[in-house]
Structure 1
Amino acid sequence: MPFYSKRDLEFQLFENLLVMELTRHTYFHDHTKEVFNMVLEAADQIAENYLKPILTEMDRKEPKLVDGKIKVHEGMKTIIRQFGENGWINATFPYDEGGQQLPTTLHMASGFIFQAANYSASVYPFLTTGAANLIRTFGNKELIEKFTPNMYTGKWQGTMALTEPDAGSSLSDISTTAYPTEKEGVYLIKGQKVYISCGDHDACENIIHLMLARIHGAPAGVKGISLFVVPQKRIPCGESNDVLTEGIYHKMGYKGAPIVHLMIGSNNGSEGFLVGEPHNGLSYMFQMMNEARIGVGLNATAIATAAYQASLAYAKERPQGRKIGEKDLSKPQIPIIQHADVKRMLLFQKAITEGSLALLLYCSKLSDIAHAAEEPEKEQAALLLDFLTPIAKSYPSEMCCLSTSAALQILGGAGYTTDFPIEQYYREARIHPIHEGTTGIHGLDLLGRKVLMKGGKALHLFGKEIATTILDAREINSLISYADTLEKYLGKAQQTTAHLLSKAGIKTEEFLADASLYLEYNGILTIAWQWLKQAIIAQEQLDKGNPEKSFYQGKIMCLRYFFEYELVKMDALGKRLVSPDMPTLDMHEEWF
């Protein structure tokens, strides 16, 4: 049974995104379509042969804390080392650092394949990529040489250690403290961190934490936060660096990757190495966090895609009932895919997953352009990516929970059992609206920061991109009505935003009270835009008589579905966003 659509991924990359355009930039100039196809095929083989076979086992055999060390599925040692040896961990980095200068777009597309096969297993190597990238970007030569080579090979695991028991999303309240030593750049770290993904395990020889802490005496708030490399074991001796695993969290899903509680410096012996300048740690960490946020959206999309593929296969094979109006019980039952309501649930899944994938790979391409292009293209790509990041993280995360629920519903009672994989996908999907900032945090980010960023320049770019797609769609007769509809909703969104901005700085609580709804509102608009883009290509191919009629017709039907069933939800959300009634502000705590 397939766990993703190779044809759709190919369409997204080469037809919709025109990813080969990236090779006009010097950094990506050496790559060809043949190379990109080889990368995707290699990812597919690893996913099929190594990750997918242990999907269920990793869920059933949770990591265990034994004598102070977390033991994970035995297959992870081979998988992590293979990712390192095959160059996946540092694939996007420059040649002179041992990388392949692979576009992030292709790296993310490969990650999508891995995540659809086995989300838990895919997490380990790509956490290391993010941690190593922080060191190579902001660390000095000594730090880079000391830590990154063994991270690239998969010998050492990388993590991001932010969260504390009393400081979750409120990073300004972290209390982990760094005390200066006689050695320049070396500090003694003392504190604790919680919910650290892959924060300890026996599949690697060492765990390298990229950790936020406050240098003793530093200013309060986010301005006093610094970034440190804190290895679990000291280098090169391999002795304990006083980073102890206090406990392991038992999760609803995503069980194959351990999430741990760490105690740092309990015996006053945990050395940390300052990354970059003091008090700039949060700005450095945001590089990894923003990369991870796009990754979280992709994780959710991959899991929902695997669930969609499983429910689609089941719907084609499961006989149940007859066509409405058919009274002859002697006739055989029909596959449930022929029932309108089942087709509705399948269309919902296809529209959400393929629409989300289009957005996420588009964001990845923006990242590549921001990295490799010249001005002004570079600045514009970076601004648009910054604006879209909270949408690209949150819309797929929230909607893929609903999409996976629809997949389970198609299987009925069977979907609720462990005999089928969808119950696992359903549990694993739910973490993503929480990971890397809750939906509420990203709503505040979009409305409170990104909309206002650089005098609204990013917001203007967003509208301009949608308007360009609308103009392109008007060149195709069958899409004119959809172009007109999207233009109408774009106009409504601009009016709604202007109404909310009239409260900014005056009625701040009212301005931000429904930021999560504003995020959802713009998420629907964004995916509608992505579907119109895909439909333009699909209709052009159909008009040319492309023999893959079924594939392209499926894209057109998703456009129709999304505009009829999802885009109209903006009406109710828009009405709420401009309403003067504020029950969430007027509600008193004691009334609950």
Structure 2
Amino acid sequence: MANQYIDFETLKYLLYDVHQLEDVLQADRFADHDKESLDMFLESVKEFSDRELFPYVKEMDEKPAYHKDGTVIVHPQVDVMMKKGGEMGLISGTFDYDAGGLQLPMTVFTCAAFILDAANNHLPGYAGLTLGSAELIVHFGNKELNDTYVPKMLSGEWAGTMCLTEPQAGSSLSDVVTKATPTDDGYYKISGQKIFISGGDHQYADNFVHLVLARIEGAPAGTKGISLFVVPKKRPDVNGNLTPNDVTTVADFQKVGQRGYCTTHLGFGDADDCQGWLVGEAHHGLKYMFLMMNGARIAVGRGAAAIASAAYHASLQYAKERPQGRKLSSDGKKNPEQGQTLIINHPDVRRMLLQQKAVYEGSLSLVILAAKYYDFKETLQDKEEKEKYALLLELIIPMVKTYPSEMGAEAVSNGLQVLGGYGFCTDFILQQYYRDIRIFPIYEGTTGIQSQDLLGRKLLMENGKALQLLTAEIMQTIQEASKYDDLKKYALKLGEKLQLAQKVIGFLVGFAQKGDYERFLSDATPFMEFLSNITMAWIWLDVASHAKNALVTGQKTYAEDFYESKIHTMKFFYKYELPKTNGLAEILLDEEALTIAGEKEILN
């Protein structure tokens, strides 16, 4: 098993040099933090991950969570993740001091969570869901809910979940039927079922605080009639004593990957004694939940990038140790008397490794950028600047969630291929990472849903203002890169791709303008791949420009080879990945519609 799962230098380079954390730290909210203290925090997270997460990643796959006697049994390290994570601020990190948090920038917290995810992607979700549900209570709950639940959640004593999906509804939340019946005692009686609830039950939390979407009797149909409730597994009384709240753990889903991260089926109110408390105003539940969704989708992209990172380092280590075959001589033949060469010397193996590196490092940079936009949106005082970063964040979020997930899976597949037959064997961890990452294109809205959000909503926001802002950011990077002779041709290529994007977008928007929205959105997923590829070319040109600047000015924090590797990987992306946009553009500009259901059914 590999002994490295991230490149700490790359993480810090992206955080401090490329994305300029110092700019984020100018906000009053972060006045108590500086680079040195945040470095210490990240180092402590890495040390914790080395000791308590990474050594157990394979074991948690081999000994998965399971349902027994009405509860879910999970690996003992879940207890360590929750309790020690609570002590270290890995649940409360971004919360206000008043709520018991550390007021860390989202940018830094995202990097810390990336380390955890890369070390063992089965564990951080338990803390992450607790963070997300506590955040909903802090933002929208009353003082009583905050005082009753949040402190114990942030300490890791109580766990939290978000309960959206139902057996009959799936991603169609307008079809939620879980019922909330008002009483004269200030609470609602909750009845219904929720499925695919991550971290929904286990033996290492004293209580579970479920944030449940439900429909109050008489509420409007569709998403406008959905409310949000705190529904604890055990309800606390005024003295802090806990009473069962008629929340039943029906089952735990057995999964292809992330087998140590439990996914439960919960029943509410089977005995007509499940009490829930309204969060905020009635019928605003989905709006509240989706205000938190940007953070959740950044987390999905981050987790996928982290698994791709761990897989890359595992396959890289193998390639450096595995001798096989011989290098070609100048006459194009192999000398059987020559000793075997390490497979890292074979061009095709290097191609697969470079693809992994390009995907995971580029994805990480994109995720950190999204977190930076999030920080700016929350802390900048200038109204125009706040709006700018809010729009930029909204536009890139679907790509932040989707590109690392989809391309991360492809990258891990390449990692498995590097190992050849051994990659398909359970002795080596690549097959596990391949299974673990497959859920990420499904989490928090599938690729199809994200793609429709990107093309159908985000691209057209405020008459395309977000797209104009993103184009301006890309143009700025093109201008910076053009200062360096050996980056000019890549800057030119990116400029040409922007023009191609304008052509494709103009063609597709034409269908929306004619009211043909089904045709407009029918190729949303190829469009997601198309625009994500161009966006990642921008991300990589930016990374390379900073590397080139360090080499030219001599202001180097790392070895010269480190910066050269970033420039080389950018070149690889432009040769092997960016040209895919030409084929995608051909698909998107084709007048023929082949996926829209017609009178005659051809899928038979």
TM-score range, shorter chain: over 0.9
What secondary structure is seen at the aligned counterpart in 2 of 1:584?
coil
Matched residue, 2:181: 179
Confirm whether residue 478 of structure 1 aligns to residue 478 of structure 2.
no
- Give the aligned length: 591
Q: In structure 1, how many angstroms separate the alpha carbons of the residues matched to 2:23 and 2:603?
A: 58
Q: In structure 1, how many angstroms separate the alpha carbons of the residues matched to 2:357 and 2:602?
A: 44
Range moving further from structure 2, 305-314 or 69-78: 69-78
Matching residue's letter, 2:424 = Y
Give matches, 1:215-254, under 5 Å: 215-236=216-237, 237-254=241-258
Q: In structure 1, how many angstroms separate the alpha carbons of the residues matched to 2:162 and 2:592?
A: 41
CA drift at 1:590: 4.7
Give matches, 1:69-80, under 5 Å: 69-80=71-82
Q: In structure 2, how many angstroms separate the alpha carbons of the residues matched to 1:578 and 1:66?
A: 54
Q: In structure 2, how many angstroms separate the alpha carbons of the residues matched to 1:452 and 1:51?
A: 42
Matched residue, 1:402: 410
CA drift at 1:283: 0.6
CA drift at 1:5: 0.3
Confirm whether residue 557 of structure 1 aligns to residue 568 of structure 2.
yes
The partner residue of 1:136 within 132, 135, 138 is 138
The partner residue of 1:447 within 451, 455, 462 is 455
Give matches, 1:408-423, under 5 Å: 408-423=416-431
Matching residue's letter, 1:206 = N
Matched residue, 2:590: 579
Q: In structure 2, how many angstroms separate the alpha carbons of the residues matched to 1:586 and 1:261?
A: 33
What secondary structure is seen at the aligned counterpart in 1 of 2:236?
coil
Q: In structure 2, how many angstroms separate the alpha carbons of the residues matched to 1:386 and 1:79?
A: 31
Matched residue, 1:465: 473
Q: In structure 2, how many angstroms separate the alpha carbons of the residues matched to 1:361 and 1:301?
A: 11
Give matches, 1:180-199, under 5 Å: 180-184=182-186, 186-199=187-200
Q: In structure 2, how many angstroms separate the alpha carbons of the residues matched to 1:488 and 1:75?
A: 50
CA drift at 1:288: 2.6
Range moving further from structure 2, 344-353 or 413-422: 413-422
What secondary structure is seen at the aligned counterpart in 2 of 1:3?
coil
Matching residue's letter, 1:328 = N
Q: In structure 2, how many angstroms separate the alpha carbons of the residues matched to 1:294 and 1:153?
A: 23
Q: In structure 1, how many angstroms separate the alpha carbons of the residues matched to 2:258 and 2:422?
A: 21
- Which whole-Å deviations, capped at 9, do the CAs of 1:339-390 have from their partners, x for residues lacking one? 0000100110000000010000000010011111112211111110011000
Matching residue's letter, 2:592 = D
Range moving further from structure 2, 517-526 or 327-336: 327-336
Q: In structure 1, how many angstroms separate the alpha carbons of the residues matched to 2:50 and 2:424?
A: 25
CA drift at 1:247: 0.8
Q: In structure 2, how many angstroms separate the alpha carbons of the residues matched to 1:151 and 1:253?
A: 27
Matched residue, 2:298: 294
Q: In structure 1, how many angstroms separate the alpha carbons of the residues matched to 2:59 and 2:277?
A: 38
Q: In structure 2, how many angstroms separate the alpha carbons of the residues matched to 1:74 and 1:481?
A: 53
The partner residue of 2:516 within 492, 502, 507 is 507
Q: In structure 2, how many angstroms separate the alpha carbons of the residues matched to 1:94 and 1:590?
A: 56
Indicate if the aligned counterparts of 1:92 and 1:99 stay in contact, CA closer than 8 A. yes
Compared CA separation, residues 69 and 495, structure 1 to 2 (3 A)? same
Matching residue's letter, 2:579 = V
Matched residue, 1:257: 261
Q: In structure 2, how many angstroms separate the alpha carbons of the residues matched to 1:198 and 1:586?
A: 38
Give matches, 1:496-575, under 5 Å: 496-505=504-513, 506-545=515-554, 546=556, 548-575=559-586
Q: In structure 2, how many angstroms separate the alpha carbons of the residues matched to 1:163 and 1:124?
A: 18
Confirm whether residue 285 of structure 1 aligns to residue 252 of structure 2.
no
Matched residue, 1:38: 40
State TM-score, norm by structure 2. 0.96
Q: In structure 2, how many angstroms separate the alpha carbons of the residues matched to 1:96 and 1:289?
A: 23
Q: Give the RMSD, CA atoms, in angstroms.
A: 1.1
Indicate if the aligned counterparts of 1:23 and 1:30 stay in contact, CA closer than 8 A. no
CA drift at 1:589: 3.1
What secondary structure is seen at the aligned counterpart in 1 of 2:441?
coil
Matched residue, 1:367: 374
Matched residue, 2:312: 308
Indicate if the aligned counterparts of 2:66 and 2:254 stay in contact, CA closer than 8 A. no
Q: In structure 1, how many angstroms separate the alpha carbons of the residues matched to 2:148 and 2:520?
A: 48
Q: In structure 2, how many angstroms separate the alpha carbons of the residues matched to 1:591 and 1:318?
A: 46
What secondary structure is seen at the aligned counterpart in 1 of 2:512?
coil
Range moving further from structure 2, 234-243 or 112-121: 234-243
- Which whole-Å deviations, capped at 9, do the CAs of 1:239-270 have from their partners, x for residues lacking one? 21111011110000001111011111111111
State TM-score, norm by structure 1. 0.98
Indicate if the aligned counterparts of 2:122 and 2:260 stay in contact, CA closer than 8 A. yes
Matching residue's letter, 1:249 = F
Q: In structure 2, how many angstroms separate the alpha carbons of the residues matched to 1:327 and 1:355?
A: 36
Give matches, 1:144-223, under 5 Å: 144-184=146-186, 186-223=187-224
The partner residue of 1:436 within 440, 444, 449 is 444
Indicate if the aligned counterparts of 2:99 and 2:151 stay in contact, CA closer than 8 A. no
Compared CA separation, residues 178 and 490, structure 1 to 2 (3 A)? same
The partner residue of 1:109 within 105, 111, 121 is 111
Matching residue's letter, 1:240 = P
Q: In structure 2, how many angstroms separate the alpha carbons of the residues matched to 1:589 and 1:117?
A: 47
Matching residue's letter, 2:594 = P
What secondary structure is seen at the aligned counterpart in 1 of 2:596?
helix
Matching residue's letter, 1:320 = Q
Indicate if the aligned counterparts of 2:358 and 2:573 stay in contact, CA closer than 8 A. yes
Indicate if the aligned counterparts of 1:70 and 1:202 stay in contact, CA closer than 8 A. yes
Indicate if the aligned counterparts of 1:131 and 1:288 stay in contact, CA closer than 8 A. no
Matched residue, 2:49: 47
Confirm whether residue 344 of structure 1 aligns to residue 344 of structure 2.
no
Q: In structure 2, how many angstroms separate the alpha carbons of the residues matched to 1:103 and 1:527?
A: 24
Q: In structure 1, how many angstroms separate the alpha carbons of the residues matched to 2:85 and 2:560?
A: 37
What secondary structure is seen at the aligned counterpart in 2 of 1:160?
strand
Matching residue's letter, 2:323 = P
- Which whole-Å deviations, capped at 9, do the CAs of 1:153-195 have from their partners, x for residues lacking one? 00001111000001111100000010001123x1001100000
Matching residue's letter, 2:88 = N
Q: In structure 1, how many angstroms separate the alpha carbons of the residues matched to 2:70 and 2:597?
A: 49
The partner residue of 2:601 within 571, 589, 592 is 589
Give matches, 1:320-331, under 5 Å: 320-324=324-328, 325-331=332-338
Matching residue's letter, 1:200 = D
What secondary structure is seen at the aligned counterpart in 2 of 1:119?
coil
Indicate if the aligned counterparts of 2:81 and 2:124 stay in contact, CA closer than 8 A. no
Matching residue's letter, 2:488 = I
CA drift at 1:326: 4.5
Q: In structure 2, how many angstroms separate the alpha carbons of the residues matched to 1:249 and 1:227?
A: 25
CA drift at 1:586: 5.7
Matching residue's letter, 1:302 = A
